[in-house]
């Protein structure tokens, strides 16, 4: 069932007392990556809500909010096929009130700690994780799920959401699901739609770099500088590398040497499309 209003969702939610409720927050343009989260939610929970909301406050002024793909009809069909109970697709006015200027001047925002935000995607996407945490906490308050499902694809996001849930005592368990990839290795993303065929070929460099670093680690190289240097064989001037980091996967702290808690994260632009990917050095 497709719902747009918070009130209707709350009404239906009242009938689910005593049942395990799962939430899968998305921005829509659903693909197999999203569907893997939905499948996991269906396995774990009695009732599943998928939210489809392109959240304006997590986009910077020069980012792709306006052109972000919106395919709600198709998303709803896919969710119905998976047995989703509610697709919740509010408008920005429904979420943030009509006439409100969308800023932390006028609205209450959730600000995750600087330590977690001032690195990786947060460094260039200033305010992004405030927007993410704000909308995610609002969705938690609206849906009141027992479990919420997030993809490792957005690894920094999962760490930050877990931290918010812990720090603010939100009664929900965060379940992280593995990255779904094309056979080529390219991590699925709604933004892959912006790439030409040639761009998709170029984008394979991200997963190749990650896999190469992992195989070097498996061969015994743990020096982080040395591991990072292996990436430069794959990156020509066509790629605008934004970051390549090897950090502790749970805390996002820097490490001197890679170990079984390490995650390698990369962001780069291909055809001006910002792509991110990551890999654990030990599964
Ligand atoms: P988005 O619609 O991009 O905000 O993504 C919604 C959720 O789907 C987030 O938790 C993402 O991490 C997750 N997700 C996106 N792409 C993938 C993927 N390729 N594999 C697994 N999860 C994904």
Q: Are 125 and 63 in contact (CB under 8 A)?
A: yes
Residue 134 to residue 107: CA distance in whole angstroms: 10
Q: What is the pLDDT of residue 265?
A: 98
Residue 283 to residue 280: CA distance in whole angstroms: 6
Residue 154 CA: which ligand 1 atom is closest? 12
**Considering the entire predicted model, what is its pTM?**
0.97
| DSSP conformation class of 119 | S
Q: What is the pLDDT of residue 232?
A: 82
HSE-up (13 A, CA, CB side) for residue 73: 0
pLDDT < 70 positions in the chain: 237
Query: Ligand 1: which of 22, 23, 24, 26 to mutate, judged by most atoms within 8 Å of the beta carbon?
Result: 26
Please, what's the b/e burial string for 38-50 (b: 16 or more CB within 10 A of its CB; e: otherwise)? bbbbbeebebbbb
Backbone phi, then psi, for 127, in 5-degree steps? 85, -10
Active-site positions?
34
Ligand 1 binding pocket includes 27 (Cβ within 6 Å)? yes
Query: Ligand 1: which of 31, 37, 88, 145 to mutate, judged by most atoms within 8 Å of the beta carbon?
Result: 37
Ligand 1 binding pocket includes 128 (Cβ within 6 Å)? no
Q: What is the pLDDT of residue 17?
A: 96
Tally Cβ neighbours within 10 Å of residue 76: 19
Residue 106 to residue 101: CA distance in whole angstroms: 7
Ligand 1 binding pocket includes 190 (Cβ within 6 Å)? yes
pLDDT, tens digit, for every residue of 163-172? 999 999 999 9
Q: What is the pLDDT of residue 99?
A: 80
CA-proximal residue: ligand 1, atom 6 (nearest): 26
Q: Are 59 and 131 in contact (CB under 8 A)?
A: yes
Sign of CA pseudo-dihedral 3, 153, 280, 225: negative
Domains of the chain in start order, with CATH, are: 2-177 (3.40.50.620), 190-280 (3.30.1300.10)
CA-proximal residue: ligand 1, atom 11 (nearest): 151
Dist. CA 256 → ligand 1 center (Å): 30
Residue 181 CA: which ligand 1 atom is closest? 19
CA-proximal residue: ligand 1, atom 10 (nearest): 150
Residue 70 to residue 54: CA distance in whole angstroms: 8
Residue 168 to residue 108: CA distance in whole angstroms: 15
Dist. CA 225 → ligand 1 center (Å): 29
Residue 4 to residue 21: CA distance in whole angstroms: 19
Dist. CA 115 → ligand 1 center (Å): 23
Dist. CA 223 → ligand 1 center (Å): 31
């Amino acid at each position: 069932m497709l719902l747009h209003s918070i009130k209707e969702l709350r009404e239906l939610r009242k009938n689910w007392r005593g049942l395990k409720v799962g939430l899968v927050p998305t921005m829509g343009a659903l693909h197999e990556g999203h569907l893997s989260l939905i499948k996991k939610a269906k396995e774990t929970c009695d009732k599943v809500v998928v939210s489809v909301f392109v959240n304006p406050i997590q986009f910077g002024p020069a980012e792709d909010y306006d052109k972000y793909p919106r395919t709600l009809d198709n998303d709803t069909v896919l969710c119905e096929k998976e047995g989703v109970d509610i697709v919740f697709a509010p408008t920005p006015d429904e979420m943030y009130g009509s006439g409100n200027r969308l800023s932390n001047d006028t609205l209450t925002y959730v600000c995750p700690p600087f330590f977690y935000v001032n690195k990786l995607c947060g460094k260039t996407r200033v305010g992004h994780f405030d927007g993410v945490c704000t909308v995610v906490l609002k969705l938690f308050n609206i849906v009141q799920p027992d479990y919420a499902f997030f993809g490792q694809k957005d690894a920094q996001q999962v760490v930050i959401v877990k931290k918010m849930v812990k720090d603010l005592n939100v009664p929900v368990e965060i379940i992280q699901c593995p990255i779904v990839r094309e056979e080529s290795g390219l991590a699925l993303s709604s933004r892959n739609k912006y790439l030409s065929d040639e761009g998709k070929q170029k984008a394979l460099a991200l997963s190749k770099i990650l896999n190469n670093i992992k195989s070097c680690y498996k061969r015994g190289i743990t020096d982080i500088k040395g591991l990072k240097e292996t990436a430069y064989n794959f990156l020509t001037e066509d790629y605008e590398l934004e970051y390549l980091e090897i950090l502790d996967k749970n805390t996002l702290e820097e490490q001197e040497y890679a170990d079984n808690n390490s995650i390698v994260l990369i962001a780069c632009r291909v055809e001006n499309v910002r792509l991110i990917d990551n890999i654990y050095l030990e599964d």
